[in-house]
């Protein structure tokens, strides 16, 4: 396991279903995360933990936080279970709990926000919205060109997938 991962967190989730839901629909927050500790639980302990993140766990107390915009998290694993990343922000409960984001799902420029809902869905308009948002966010010209080339190299669905891969589209 690498020391750095991108994690999509749920804020104050009650159980594992909430964490999985946020990962699936991309509604949670995705952050660069440094793994500061690893806790290995038995399958039974892991299952108990994932049924209620709001309980106090001594092994989380005083850990987590954010340093230089990088979340500090405890990796929690058990046999045959997905690794969870917990940033308790100094507390002893699962304040932020998440799953690793696969590399192909990491947004290249998450700080570039592009509103697509309620806008003209014409492909050229979508390209223009993304291009203008990227310029406003000071994305380097060569990256904007790479986006335009990739987004224009396929059908309409490819365009939408590419927009979501490069920018925070809503």
Domains of the chain, residue spans: 4-104, 107-169
What are the tens digits of pLDDT across the range 131-145? 999 999 999 999 999
What are the tens digits of pLDDT across the range 29-75? 678 899 999 999 999 999 999 999 999 999 999 999 999 889 999 99
Q: Which burial class, exposed, middle or buried, applies to 168 when counting CB atoms under 10 A from its CB (0-12, 13-18, 19+)?
A: middle
For residue 165, what pLDDT is reported?
Answer: 86
For residue 107, what pLDDT is reported?
Answer: 81
> Is the pLDDT reported for residue 2 higher than 60?
no
pTM of the model: 0.68
3-state secondary structure of 134: helix
Instruction: Give the end-to-end CA distance of the chain in Å, rounded to a whole number.
Output: 32
DSSP assignment of 28-57: SEEEEEEEEEEEE--HHHHHHHHH-TTS--
112 vs 69 pLDDT, higher one: 112
- Tell me the mean pLDDT in the region 89-118: 88
In 4-42, which positions are buried (b, 16+ CB within 10 angstroms) versus exposed (e)?
Answer: ebbbbbbeebebbebbeebbeeeebebbebbbbeebebe
């Amino acid at each position: 396991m690498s020391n750095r991962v991108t994690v999509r967190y749920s804020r104050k989730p009650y159980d594992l279903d909430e964490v999985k839901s946020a990962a699936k629909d991309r509604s949670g927050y995705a952050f660069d995360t440094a793994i500061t500790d690893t806790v290995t639980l038995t399958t039974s302990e892991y299952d108990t933990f994932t049924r209620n993140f709001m309980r106090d766990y001594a092994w989380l107390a005083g850990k987590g936080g954010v340093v230089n915009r990088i979340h500090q998290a405890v990796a929690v694993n058990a046999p045959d279970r997905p690794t969870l990343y917990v940033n308790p922000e100094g507390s002893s409960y699962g304040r932020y709990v998440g799953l690793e984001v696969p590399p192909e799902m990491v947004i290249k420029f998450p700080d570039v926000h592009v509103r697509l809902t309620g806008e003209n869905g014409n492909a050229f308009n979508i390209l223009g919205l993304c291009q203008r948002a990227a310029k406003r966010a000071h994305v380097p010209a060569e990256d904007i060109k790479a986006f335009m080339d990739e987004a224009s190299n396929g059908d309409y669905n490819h365009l939408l997938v590419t927009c979501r891969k490069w920018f925070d589209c809503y």
